[in-house]
Amino acid sequence: MTDTLRRPTETPARARHLRPRRRRRTPAARARRVLFSALVLAIAAFLLFPVYWAAKTAVSPDQEIYATPAAYVPHRFTLQHFTNALSDPRFLRSIVNSLVVGASVTAISVLLGAFAAYAIGRFAFRGRSFMRYTILAMSIFPNIAILGSLYKLLTATHLYNTLPALIGTYLIFILPFTVWTLASFFQQLPKELEEAAYIDGASAMQTFWRVMMPLAAPGLAATAILAVIAAWNEYLFALSFESDSGNWTVPVMISNVGSQSSAYTIPWGDEMAASLVVMIPVIALVLLLQRRIVAGLTGGSVKG
């Protein structure tokens, strides 16, 4: 296994250079190339097969979905499952709910988080590293552990079974994440620009809005996308704090389609069509902004 991980373009060249007379090197290098390509293909299949299978199921008529042996490519094509999913008002409602919660919690987190991250990332003050690690500790805190207390808090404030309940509770894991990630983006910005602004007579807040925020825009975008995905993904709080199906978010809605029906009548075609409707835009967005997202995912944890 490890042998196939060598750099295929370098190894043959180097081998030729070091031992110019050994001709049997070429088939060995070719074999290694084939093995390496097989490995790359295997990884691609591993990553994509479930998505392919969901898409295949969504466009196949029912008799093909439940057929044995399985059809690996759809023989007949139908959009019926998409029509079913999109004409279900509860599903559309859940998308709206998820968007409202995701957008609100992201907007609040990015705004408040940018202030906090600016302080942690650019200011020298006592208690800075304490705040940094408090924020990190909060982002790894198990949400489930405070489920009971949050439930009490929400019923006491009459927020139980409302969308603001989710917006408020999602801040628990999204706000610390935003601060942590943005702090590492702010830290990477060159000091000279900030100093130039100060010399020109700008106040700290003017510098923040006019110089630092525009410079951190790529970081803000990446962080916002990751925050939206985290909110979009959340299941436990959405399941526990929304009793009325009109307030369900996408994960609760989709998990309910499967669990309400018995094992033999799960409407897989409809469920996969609904899943595709909500996952394709996110996949597209993530692929579009991939560089920034990778920086957001790895930056905070590797350099922090």
Partner 1 sequence: MSRKPADLAARQARLAWLLLAPTMAVTAVVALYPAVTTVYRSFTNDTFGGTSHWIGLGNYATLLHDEAFRSATWVTIEFTAITVTVEAVLGMVLALTLNTAFAGRGAMRALLLVPFAIINVISASIWKLMFNQSYGVFNDLLVDKLHLADRPIDFFGTRTTALLSVSAIDIWKTTPFVALLLLAGLQSVPADTQEAAQVDGAGAVRRFFSITLPQLRAALLVAVVFRTLDALRVFDVFFVLFGARADTTTMSIYIEQNIVDFGKAGYGSAISVVTMLLIAIFVALYVGLNTRTSK
Q: Map the footprint of partner 1 across residues 166-195, applying CB under 8 A.
A: 168-169, 171-172, 175-176, 179
For partner 1, the binding residue among 102, 219, 251, 267 (CB under 8 A) is 251
CA distance 13 to 134: 51
Position 6 contacts partner 1 (CB under 8 A): yes
From the list 100, 114, 107, 286, the residue with the least C-alpha distance to 189 is 114
Q: Which residue has the tokens 């207390």?
A: 149
Shorter beta-carbon distance to partner 1: residue 137 or 193? 137
Residue 154 to residue 161: CA distance in whole angstroms:
9
- Determine, following the binding rule CB under 8 A, whether residue 273 of this chain makes contact with partner 1: no
List the interface residues with partner 1, window 94-113 (CB under 8 A).
112-113
- The residues in 16-55 that bind partner 1, with binding defined as CB under 8 A, are 36, 39-40, 43-44, 46-48, 50-51, 53-54
Q: How far is the CB of 7 from partner 1 (least distance, A)?
A: 5
Task: Based on the shown chain and the rule CB under 8 A, indicate whether residue 70 belongs to the binding site for partner 1.
Answer: yes
- DSSP strand E in the chain: where? none
Nearer to partner 1, 77 or 125 (CB): 125
Residue 118 makes contact with partner 1 by CB under 8 A:
yes
Is the CB of 146 or the CB of 217 nearer to partner 1? 146
Stretch in the footprint of partner 1 (CB under 8 A) among 84-92, 183-191, 209-217, 234-242: 234-242
* 278 interacts with partner 1 by CB under 8 A: yes
* Number of residues engaging partner 1 in binding (CB under 8 A): 101
- Taking the complex as a whole, how short is the minimal distance between the CB of residue 89 and partner 1, in angstroms? 20
- Are the C-beta atoms of residues 120 and 132 closer than 8 Å to each other? yes
CB of 266 to partner 1, least distance (A): 8
Selection from 171, 153, 162 nearest residue 110 by Cα? 171
Site for partner 1 in 192-221 (CB under 8 A): 204
Amino acid identity, residue 214? Answer: P
Stretch that binds partner 1, among 20-28, 81-89, 136-144, 214-222 (CB under 8 A): 136-144
Q: Which of 110, 116, 220, 273 binds partner 1 (CB under 8 A)?
A: 116
Is residue 59 within the footprint of partner 1 (CB under 8 A)?
no
CA 9/CA 29 separation, integer angstroms: 9
Residue 135 CB-half CA count within 13 A: 26
How far apart are the C-alpha atoms of 115 and 73, rounded to whole Å?
51
